[in-house]
Structure formats: structure tokens, C-alpha cells
Chain A
Amino acid sequence: MTGSADFFEDLFRGLLQGTPPGAVYALIALGFVLTYKTSGVFNLAFGAQAYISAAMYFKAHTLWGWPKWAALVVSAFVLAPLIGLVLERLIFRHLRTASAVSKLVVAIGLSVALPELFNQAARFTAVAGRQITGIMPDGSSVFYDPFGVYRFNRDELAMMAVALVATLLLAALFRFTMIGLAMRAVVESPRMTEMSGINADRVSAFAWALSSTFAGLAGVLIAPRFNSLVSTDFFTLVVIAVAAAAVGKLVSLPRALLGGLGLGWFIAVFNTFLPRWSGDHTWLRPFQENLTPSLPFVVLFAILVLWRAIGREREASDPLSGVDPPPPALAALERHPKLTLFTRLFGVGFVAVVGSVVWFRAGVLWMHLVTTAVIMAVIYLSVTVITGMAGQISLCQGTFAAIGGFTIFQMADRFNMSVLAAALLGAGVAAAVGAVLSLPVLRLGGVWLAIATLAFAFFFDAVMVKFSWVGGGTTALLTGTRVPRPLIGPIDFASDRAFLVLAVVVLVIVSIIVIQLREGTVGRTLTALRGSEVAAASIGISAARARIIAFAVSAAIAGLGGALLSMHQQNVNYSTNFGPVNALFWLVIVVALGARTVEGAIQAGAAFALFEPLILKGDLLVWILRGEDHLPGLFPLSGSWRLVLFGMMAIQFARHPEGLVEHGKRRSAARINRWLEAREGAAS
């Protein structure tokens, strides 16, 4: 009898404990749904916005010594809506007719760029271990225990109160104000908007300001639960919000609210009971240890994959966009043969010059960096396949690469397998995982597919890596995940030069493969699908089959690249190389520089490894100016400008899906083309 009384008490305690974080999740989920419904933007940058408000609050209160209320007002009620307004006005207003997927890429670019932009602009660096305070005086040390089972501290009470008030205000706004009514009309029945003469710009600006305020509030409220202010923690927060919002299929505000609360409850109850059960059943223990941190992702993945209604809920195009036609696509360019010759010659010359400089002049450090660039180019070719060719956004390329690295680590470690064979095996395992993963997620398509891959990446990160047969378990913690360099006959690739040659050979082979695919049946099938899915089906193309192939090939390339990177570093270095948030930057840098072409991937690889030392640290300038002494005082620039720059460039994806650099190249090629033709015309 006491057993069941205990059970209910624990359940009740779990529910109480889960309410404050649940309230914050609900807050951010509400904001998320609001932006999605009014502007069709799946705003993954919400986490970045929440981070900025939290950091601003920390800076104002803790560093400047402002009173809490003033810090709160500035961070959540001034800065947050301002950011929302600026984003709407400068970016999303102009993307009304863009596809949901390209708007998602824009948001991903923002989520990479915004936190670093703030950090640089405000000269903010979070100090690890500094206590992050909540919004209440003595918030974490004064407790209330209304039911005698769980002690809420003041901050937790504030979380619930703020979320409650915000929700009530939102409801009142929807009910009683003109702009609220207009917004509700847009949210509930997009079709009505076109007819009823609602001012789309105003509604969308207002919705962005409002939802960004919610994000900012959530950021400030949740910050004390993190150990330090790192933007990646806040990115995780937005994934949780997506899970909550998915409960309402991203369309229903009340359900998003419930979803957020429910997720908070579920996590808390789960955390209460699982340790107890696994005390009785030891086989549950690894799950308990691994599953707890990844619960939101597991829930999200399960919702996406199992709930059939989600797939049918195709992405909302912008309800405010009216009937504008989509922007015209860039016409393919017919090149003058001379131009082709020139560009080929230039390319070969460039590679020859850079190659010989590296080969004859580079020291250990530069050899290392160039090798990294080459290997990253291999990995980025996997993005070329899945995003450039298949038009799908995969956010788990880091996971596929990690699978390659871990395979080679395990095989070499346990079975003493040949390293190159293990690398190929790793590519194969990654391909198999990619194919299996694609089965349930392909049905989703578009934005949902991207989110499912993101959830998978987080799941792998939180659960799979911990298993000893993947990440090496506890022994790996001590000795690291060591990977040897290959040895073929007399050639020992432990030499950095030899290894660079190996990496270049692999890059050339993979580049040729990608070009063959693009020109072959697979590439042309994917181009057809990207152009029009119904039309492709109408000539007998099976979208599922084509995309499974694309996923598997892309995963294999990523796996091979990941294996190569691990060999290069002689260690898998999972979290620095392959963590889920890193992979976001991969996508960003590739779409910024050109996702459709092999050159784009190579440029992205070079930019990833070399942009920081060459440009930001000023080494290129030192070389040009012949000496460190002449270097202007502002160098070295912070490496995070890299994130800002490429994040901002990725924002252009919606208008130039071929990549900014590629776009620029096409434009100047067209100009030279015209010039050549004009000259020829004059001559004849």
C-alpha cells in the first residue's frame, strides 16, 4: 500500500519539478509556432536569439551591475524584439515566396552567425563556472513548498509565472486587438488573408517582434539551468521547442503550449523513475545513463517518424505571400569554348602553384592545415550530393563522418584490421546507416526531414557515442579514440607528406565519382525530382529510391572523409570534429560557397581550414607585406568571424541556391562570355 502511495507522490513530485522548465519550453514553442505560421520560417535561429538575450542579461546584470529588472527589460523586451524586427525587415520579408527549405537554411545560417556576431559586437565572452543568476532576488536560494513534495525556488516560480502571463497576454492579444485578430486570421486560415486585405508587412513584423520576445524571455529564464553561457546549449533548447511544437503539428498554439509542458513533465518523471527501475534491472542502466540527456531528441525523432499525420502536414509556404510567382530560377549558362579553356587553364595553374608552394615550402603546421582542407573537401562533397544534387537538407552529416571515424578506430583497435580497409568499411557502414535512416525520414520530406536528421544527430551524440562498441566507452575516456595512419608496403603514411598525397588522391577519386553521378542517371534523376516531384513521378521516377541512393552515397562519402580525418589527427576527436552543432556549420559553409559543384566543396574545405589562419590571423597579409611588423594593429581577428561571415553568406541561399561564390562566378563568366562573343562578332 505504501508502495503505491510513494509512487503517486513521486509522480506528483516529478510533475511539479517538470513544470518550470516545461513552461519555458512552452514559451519558446509558442514563439516558434507563431513565426512558422505567420511567415513560413522554421526558425532554428530562435536558440541563437534566446542566447543573445541571456548573454545580454548576464552582461548587464552581472558584469555591469545593473538591477535585475533593468537588465531583464533591456535584454528581453528591447533587444529581443528589436532583433526580431531587424531579421524580418532585412531578411525574411524578402523571402516570402522562397521555399520552406531555403528559409530553413537561412535560419541555420543565422543560428551560426548571430551568437558570434553578438559576442564580437558586445565583446562578450562567457566565463565558465560563473554563476548565472535568475531574474528573482535570491532566486535560487529561497524556496516555497506548496504541496509538501517539491520545493520550488523563486526562479522556478518566476518561470511559471512569466510563462503564464505571457500566454494569457497572447490570448488576450488574439482576442481583443486588431493586430492580434489579423494575426489569428493568418495563423488559423491563411486563405482568408488574401481576401480580407490584411497588411501582410505589419502582421509579419509584429509576429516576429512578439515571437522573438518570447525567445528572449525563454533564454533569460532558462539560463540559470546551464552551467555556463554557451550558444550551443541554447541551440539544444530550440530543438526541444521543435519537439514541443511538433506535438501541435506546428500549427496549433494551444497544442504547442501543452507540448512544451508535457515535454517538461515527461523528462522530469522519466528522470525520477528510470534510475529506480534500472536499480532493479541492471540491463536498463546504460539506457538510463545515455537516454536521459537525449530524451527530447528521442521524443522528437519518435514523433516525426511514428506519427503519420506529420508527414502529410506538408510545409506551409508563406501564407502572407499571396499569389506572387516564385522568383525565376537562374538559367543554365552556355559557355563560350574559349572561356571554358581559360577557366580550365586558370584552375590547373592555380592548383599547380599552390601545390608546389605547399609541397616545397610549407612547414609542419601548414602541411597539417592543407591536409585538413583537402579532407574537409571530401566530407563536403557529401553535402554536394545530398543538398546540391538531391535538394535535401541533412543535418547529420557529422554523424555519418563520425561513423567512419569510429569504425576505423574500432576495427584497428580490436581486430587490427588494415586501416585503409577499415576506412572503406566505415564508408560502407555509414552508407548502410544512411540508407536505413532514410527509410523512415524520407516520407517526411523538406523541412521535417532536416529536423529528423538533426534529432538523429543529437540522439547519436547523446546515446550511441557512449556505447563502448561505438565511441570506446570508458577506456576511450582515458586513452582517447586512437586511430593509426595506414601503411601500404613501403609507404608509411605516418609521414605528413605521404598522407597529404593520400588525401589528395581520395579527393580526386571522390570528385570524379560525384561528377559521374551528376552526369549520370542518378544525378539527372535527382535534378528532375528537385525540379518537380510530381512531374518526376509521372515519368516513372521513384522518389524514394532515388533519395535512398542519394542518402547512402552521401553518407558513404561523409564516412570516408570522417575516417580520413581521424587518420589525419590519429584520433577520432568526436566532439570537436563531428558534434551535431559542428555539422550545422558544414552545411552553412558549403551552401555559402556553392553546393552544386565540386569546386564549391573544395573551396568550402579550403575556407574551413585556411580562412582563419590566412585571413583572420593575417598571415596572408604578413606574406604580402613581407613581415609581421607592418601588420595593422587590428590583427589577429577572432576566429569566430568565420562563423559570422559564412553564416551571413548562407543567408543568401534563398536567393542564390547555387551559392554566393558560384553565383558571382556565373555572373562574371556571363560577362566575359558576352565580351568574347562581341569581339568575335566584330572580327567576323
Chain B
Amino acid sequence: MTALLAASGVSVAFSGIRALNDVTLRVDAGERVGLIGPNGAGKTTLFNCLLGILQPDSGRVMLNGADVGGWPVHRRARAGMGRTFQRVELFSDTTVREHLLIAERIRNGSGALWKDLIGRGRPRPTEIAACDEVLELLGIDGLADQPVESLSLGQSRLVEVGRALMTGPQVLLLDEPSSGLDRDETQALADTLRAVQESRGYAVLLVEHDVSLVADFTERVYVLDSGSLIAEGPTAEVLADPAVRRAYLGSFEVS
């Protein structure tokens, strides 16, 4: 079976310093996969390679069996890759619902200059309904008309997830969704993510260094350290591996 998303032999160097070293990874349809590693291990860099924000020096990225190496970011996004950002990236000067509406418009591809000119470019009722459905699913329907500047960090993360969901992703890449959140917020986020994933059935690649969230949410996990994969396999087994624990220098306890 071809993987939904696969990276093989990906290497990246920043001015001579290896950030990723021959990394190979795969995510199958509907699967929940974790990618963990200490700060600076190269997790975000790998994300950027998968999404085309960064061109790897060598290695390939495949989506549904197609080599997407030469594709720009927006094309990969349309082909089924959604993502969130470690440092929240929202569109200033817009409301929560407008975030989802624009994503929906891009997905359904019905926007065109001439339609705008004859006044047919405004959000349609069906689009608004689709957005409200996702907002409800994420439990932020009460915030729909809020400007995003007024949201808390946790709420902003959910808006990012919602925006990514509107693109109808086959695989959702989440970059440290818990960073900056306290324990309760993290728990609430994890519950929401799990519920939504189960109802929509897309695959998830979750980057985290909060190991308990990874242990809770993922089926399989990859461990990255200084740019190299040091372990992979079922989450519980990998997290019990002494080498993995050493990479974290005892910075977490598996419960």
C-alpha cells in the first residue's frame, strides 16, 4: 500500500549545520502519528520540508504516491495537506468565521475575479453553514464574530485547526499545539483534537514535546534527535525505550 504521506532520506543543512539527516517517515490514511524530540531536534524543519516551505538538500516527499518535491506550498495544501503553526499565524483584521470562510472558498475553488466584479464574491449561505459546522465541532461557535486579535492562545490554536480543517485535509500536521498552554488547556485541546479526528477520519502528524499528549493521542511515533531519527514504532514501546528517554535527558516521565 502506498503511504498517504512519506518522506524518504530527507536532509537539510543551514549554513553547513545539519538540521535534518536522512530522515524517513510515513503516515498512512487515517493514522495518528507522533513526531517527538527535544527543542532544536529539527521537527519544525521537517514539517517545512513536507509542506514545501523549505526545499530539502536531498530526499523526497511523496503525497498519495506522487512526488511533490517541486510543488509550491499552496499546491500541496490543495492536494490534501493541512497544518497549524508552532507560533500562531492568524490573519490580522479578520474575524474567526472569516478565517474559515476564506479557506472554504479556496477549497471549493469557486472564486474568480469576474465573479467579484458582478457582486457574486461574497460568502454564500452554504459556505457559512459549512464553517459554522466546523466551529461547532471545535466548540468555538460562540467566537465566530470575534476579531482574532481578541482570542486567547488556546482559542487561536483551535481557529488554526478549524482553518486547516476547512481545506478538507487528508493529513493534518500539527506543530506543537500545546506550547504556551497550561495543563488544563492542553487536556481540553487534546480532547477536542481526538473527537474531531475520530469524526472526520483524516490522518494526523503531531509534533510535540509534551510527551503525555503524544502518549495519549498517537498510535505510532518517531523520535528525532539532532536531526536524526533515533527510534520509531508503536508509541508505548518507543516511549519506554531507554535511549529515547536519554535523548530527553530525563526531561519527562512516562506515566
Interface residues of A (CB under 8 A from B): 328-332, 334, 513, 516-517, 519-525, 527-528, 530-532, 534-543, 549, 553
Question: Mind listing 20 A-B residue pairs with CB under 8 Å?
Answer: A332-B95, A332-B147, A334-B145, A517-B116, A520-B111, A523-B121, A524-B101, A527-B91, A527-B94, A528-B102, A531-B92, A532-B91, A535-B90, A537-B74, A538-B83, A538-B85, A538-B89, A539-B106, A540-B74, A542-B72
**Smallest Cβ distance from A335 to chain B, in angstroms?**
12
- B239 interface residue (CB < 8 Å to A): no
A524→B93 CA distance, assembly (Å):
11
A328→B149 CA distance, assembly (Å):
8
Q: Is the CB of B85 within 8 A of A524?
A: no
- B211 interface residue (CB < 8 Å to A): no
Q: Is the CB of B106 within 8 A of A541?
A: yes
Contacts of B164 in A (CB 8 A): 538-539
Contacts of B149 in A (CB 8 A): 328-329, 331
Most chain-B Cβ atoms within 10 A of its Cβ — which of A519, A541, A553?
A541
A538→B83 CA distance, assembly (Å):
7
A676→B139 CA distance, assembly (Å):
32
Interface residues of B in 55-93 (CB under 8 A from A): 72-75, 77-78, 82-83, 85, 89-93
In the complex, residue of chain B having the shortest beta-carbon distance to the beta carbon of A532: B89
Q: Is the CB of A525 within 8 A of B93?
A: no
- B51 interface residue (CB < 8 Å to A): yes
**Smallest Cβ distance from A523 to chain B, in angstroms?**
7
- B49 interface residue (CB < 8 Å to A): no
Q: Is the CB of B117 within 8 A of A549?
A: no
Known A332-B95, A522-B121, A532-B90; further 4 A-B contacts with Cβ < 8 A: A516-B116, A517-B116, A519-B122, A538-B77
Contacts of A522 in B (CB 8 A): 111, 113, 116, 121
- B11 interface residue (CB < 8 Å to A): no
Q: Is the CB of A520 within 8 A of B115?
A: yes
A540→B72 CA distance, assembly (Å):
10
Q: Is the CB of B90 within 8 A of A538?
A: no
Q: Is the CB of B77 within 8 A of A520?
A: no
A162→B133 CA distance, assembly (Å):
70
**Smallest Cβ distance from A368 to chain B, in angstroms?**
32
Contacts of A328 in B (CB 8 A): 149
Interface of A is mostly: helix
A525→B85 CA distance, assembly (Å):
19
Q: Is the CB of B91 within 8 A of A521?
A: no
Known contacts A332-B93, A332-B94; is-contact A538 B51 (Cβ 8 Å): yes
In the complex, residue of chain A having the shortest beta-carbon distance to the beta carbon of B121: A520
- B209 interface residue (CB < 8 Å to A): no
Count of A-B contacts with CB under 8 A? 123
Contacts of A527 in B (CB 8 A): 91, 93-94, 102
Q: Is the CB of B147 within 8 A of A535?
A: no
Q: Is the CB of A534 within 8 A of B73?
A: yes
In the complex, residue of chain B having the shortest beta-carbon distance to the beta carbon of A596: B93
Query: Which 6 pairs of residues, A with B, have the shortest CB-CB distance?
Result: A520-B121, A521-B111, A531-B91, A520-B116, A535-B89, A537-B73
Contacts of A521 in B (CB 8 A): 102, 105, 111-112, 115-116, 121
A513→B164 CA distance, assembly (Å):
30
Contacts of B74 in A (CB 8 A): 536-537, 540-543
In the complex, residue of chain B having the shortest beta-carbon distance to the beta carbon of A524: B102
In the complex, residue of chain A having the shortest beta-carbon distance to the beta carbon of B110: A521
Contacts of A517 in B (CB 8 A): 116-117, 121
Contacts of B103 in A (CB 8 A): 539-540
Contacts of A329 in B (CB 8 A): 92-93, 149
Q: Is the CB of B117 within 8 A of A539?
A: no
- B98 interface residue (CB < 8 Å to A): yes
Contacts of B75 in A (CB 8 A): 540, 542
A522→B102 CA distance, assembly (Å):
10
- B240 interface residue (CB < 8 Å to A): no
Contacts of A525 in B (CB 8 A): 102, 106, 111
A513→B115 CA distance, assembly (Å):
11
In the complex, residue of chain B having the shortest beta-carbon distance to the beta carbon of A543: B74
In the complex, residue of chain A having the shortest beta-carbon distance to the beta carbon of B53: A534
**Smallest Cβ distance from B214 to chain A, in angstroms?**
22
**Smallest Cβ distance from A320 to chain B, in angstroms?**
21
CB contact between A331 and one of B72, B89, B112, B150 (< 8 Å): that residue = B150
Report how many residues on chain B are interfacial, defined by Cβ distance under 8 Å: 45
Contacts of B26 in A (CB 8 A): none
A524→B103 CA distance, assembly (Å):
10
A523→B150 CA distance, assembly (Å):
22
- B194 interface residue (CB < 8 Å to A): no
Contacts of A330 in B (CB 8 A): 93
**Smallest Cβ distance from B13 to chain A, in angstroms?**
16
- B107 interface residue (CB < 8 Å to A): yes
In the complex, residue of chain B having the shortest beta-carbon distance to the beta carbon of A552: B113
Contacts of B142 in A (CB 8 A): none
A517→B120 CA distance, assembly (Å):
10
Q: Is the CB of A534 within 8 A of B113?
A: no
A487→B74 CA distance, assembly (Å):
48
A593→B95 CA distance, assembly (Å):
25
In the complex, residue of chain A having the shortest beta-carbon distance to the beta carbon of B149: A331
A527→B102 CA distance, assembly (Å):
10
Q: Is the CB of A540 within 8 A of B89?
A: no
**Smallest Cβ distance from A665 to chain B, in angstroms?**
16
- B228 interface residue (CB < 8 Å to A): no
- B163 interface residue (CB < 8 Å to A): yes
**Smallest Cβ distance from A306 to chain B, in angstroms?**
21
**Smallest Cβ distance from B158 to chain A, in angstroms?**
15
- B170 interface residue (CB < 8 Å to A): no
A527→B99 CA distance, assembly (Å):
10
A522→B164 CA distance, assembly (Å):
20
Contacts of B85 in A (CB 8 A): 534-535, 538
In the complex, residue of chain A having the shortest beta-carbon distance to the beta carbon of B84: A538
**Smallest Cβ distance from B130 to chain A, in angstroms?**
14
Contacts of B78 in A (CB 8 A): 540
Known contacts A332-B95, A525-B102, A541-B74; is-contact A519 B90 (Cβ 8 Å): no
Most chain-A Cβ atoms within 10 A of its Cβ — which of B83, B116, B118, B164?
B116
Contacts of A530 in B (CB 8 A): 91-93
A329→B163 CA distance, assembly (Å):
21
Interface residues of B in 156-175 (CB under 8 A from A): 160, 163-164, 166-167
**Smallest Cβ distance from A317 to chain B, in angstroms?**
14
Known contacts A329-B149, A534-B53, A536-B91; is-contact A523 B106 (Cβ 8 Å): no
Contacts of A549 in B (CB 8 A): 113
A522→B122 CA distance, assembly (Å):
10
Known contacts A329-B149, A541-B106; is-contact A535 B91 (Cβ 8 Å): yes
Contacts of A528 in B (CB 8 A): 91, 94, 102
**Smallest Cβ distance from B78 to chain A, in angstroms?**
4
A516→B114 CA distance, assembly (Å):
10
**Smallest Cβ distance from A487 to chain B, in angstroms?**
28
Known contacts A329-B92, A534-B85; is-contact A524 B98 (Cβ 8 Å): yes
**Smallest Cβ distance from A223 to chain B, in angstroms?**
44
A147→B90 CA distance, assembly (Å):
65
In the complex, residue of chain B having the shortest beta-carbon distance to the beta carbon of A553: B113
**Smallest Cβ distance from B91 to chain A, in angstroms?**
3
**Smallest Cβ distance from A163 to chain B, in angstroms?**
33
In the complex, residue of chain B having the shortest beta-carbon distance to the beta carbon of A521: B111
**Smallest Cβ distance from B5 to chain A, in angstroms?**
15
A395→B253 CA distance, assembly (Å):
58
In the complex, residue of chain A having the shortest beta-carbon distance to the beta carbon of B105: A521
A532→B148 CA distance, assembly (Å):
13
A660→B130 CA distance, assembly (Å):
38
Contacts of B125 in A (CB 8 A): none
Q: Is the CB of B95 within 8 A of A520?
A: no
B196-209 vs A, Cβ < 8 Å mask (1 yes, 0 no): 00000000000000
A532→B87 CA distance, assembly (Å):
11
Q: Is the CB of A539 within 8 A of B90?
A: no
Most chain-B Cβ atoms within 10 A of its Cβ — which of A525, A537, A538?
A538
- B119 interface residue (CB < 8 Å to A): yes
Q: Is the CB of B90 within 8 A of A531?
A: yes
A553→B113 CA distance, assembly (Å):
10
Contacts of B115 in A (CB 8 A): 520-521
